[in-house]
Structure 1
Amino acid sequence: MRAATQEKVQAAAITLFARHGFAATNMRDIAREAGISTGLIYRHYATKDELFAALAAQATDGLRGVAELFRSEGSPAALLGGFAREFVDDIARVQGSAEFMLIMNQAFVSRRRSAQIDALLDQHLALVDATVALIRRGQQLGEFRPGDATELATCWFAAVSGLATLKAALGDRFAAPHPSTLTGFLTREHR
């Protein structure tokens, strides 16, 4: 029961933070969106900052996992392609995944600093570094096209972030691309 309530609260917070921003959302709004009493929400999270910190910690763990995946052995094209499949599927099918990504992107540019946001930023930078290294390794193996790996990684992250933004904006009208479309500008054509 406790875990189910926490999930409801987090889902409601993600929705409201994405729609209205962190500052314009209060705990009463989150409780109403979650369908629980205001008192019950405070049993799980003492403050809105604590709730956001829990979401940031979740995102930090997710970024860490992707960075570890990108540092693992195996075909860089296969690793990136596998991630692209999972990402596109999540964005298209998992309620709140696009909004979750949007609020984490907001945290990256927030002037509000906390240990959780700093950890999230550090892990995001580690993921960028792991992606650049993955692209370089893919170039050395002939799987990825030539070019500056940092620029290619920047384009990759812009595409991923853009898909989340479009899904949040378009809702059911969002047309999820095939994962190969997302990775196509990186990979070399094999004939």
Structure 2
Amino acid sequence: MRPSSAAKREQILDAASTLFVQHGFTDTSMEMVAQQAGVSKQTVYSHFGCKDDLFTAAIRCKCDRYNLVDLLVREDGSLRERLLDIGRHFIQLILSEEARCVHRTCVAQVDTQPQAAALFFAAGPQVMIQGFTDMLGREAELGRVVMEQPRHAAIQFLMMVMGEAKLRSELGITPQLSDEEIDRYIVSCVDLFLRGYGYTEGQ
């Protein structure tokens, strides 16, 4: 992809992310994205064939910016260190204003526009779950943990990490948990998870 083409793609993704947060999937048009990005509608379609593709790319781009995919394939450091990094980046992502707004919109429109929720799940949570499942499967094969169902373990960890911080965020409960409180909770989640799956420090 030429530099100018790559730059336009980033412009389009940034514009789309902003509009999907502000207006939701249903009320955001490709024409609106083109206007926001300062490009022609034809340019938007040349990069993303339809609104579904654009929405999916915008969600994946957001995940990429939090380095979650890279963290799932890292091999340096202990498993505990890697899980701490995954937990911290994951909670930052799901508590971000953009992620919260898109999630709220998908839930609010699930009865009338189930397509948006399905796209969101496939582009975000499902990619994260699968990548984490693959990572844990590799750890199990190496004998570092004992788990028969890596996918179950991946979901258990991610749901546990969301915890009270996610619930307070969704319901608008104040005060929100401090960064220090969230980090202490993530450390406890990682240690509980590793004990449950037979991990020994130093492996």
Q: What TM-score, normalized by structure 2, do the two folds share?
A: 0.54
Equivalent in the alignment of 1:7? 14
Equivalent in the alignment of 1:181? 188
CA contact (8 A) 2:56 2:123 kept: no
- Structure 1 position 154 matched with structure 2 position 155: yes
Report the secondary structure of 2:192's partner residue.
coil
Rounded to whole Å, the distance in 2 between the matches of 1:122 and 1:12 is 23
1:78, CA displacement in angstroms? 0.8
- Alignment CA distance shift 1:122-1:85 (3 Å): closer
CA contact (8 A) 1:16 1:25 kept: yes
Q: Residue by residue, what CA displacement relative to the aligned partner does 1:46-92 show, whole Å, maximum 9, x if unpaired?
A: 342242132254367555423312xx143100111122223334445
| Match for residue 77 of structure 1 among 80, 85, 101 | 80
Identity of aligned residues (%): 12
CA contact (8 A) 1:27 1:38 kept: no
1:4, CA displacement in angstroms? 5.2
The size of the alignment, in residue pairs, is 169
- Structure 1 position 128 matched with structure 2 position 129: no
Rounded to whole Å, the distance in 1 between the matches of 2:30 and 2:174 is 28
Rounded to whole Å, the distance in 1 between the matches of 2:141 and 2:115 is 30
Q: What TM-score, normalized by structure 1, do the two folds share?
A: 0.56
Residue segments in structure 2 that go unaligned for 5+ positions in a row: 1-6, 108-113
Question: Relative CO higher for 1 or 2, CA cutoff 8 Å, sep ≥ 6?
Answer: 1
Residue segments in structure 1 that go unaligned for 5+ positions in a row: none
Q: CA RMSD in A?
A: 4.8
1:13, CA displacement in angstroms? 1.1
Equivalent in the alignment of 1:48? 51
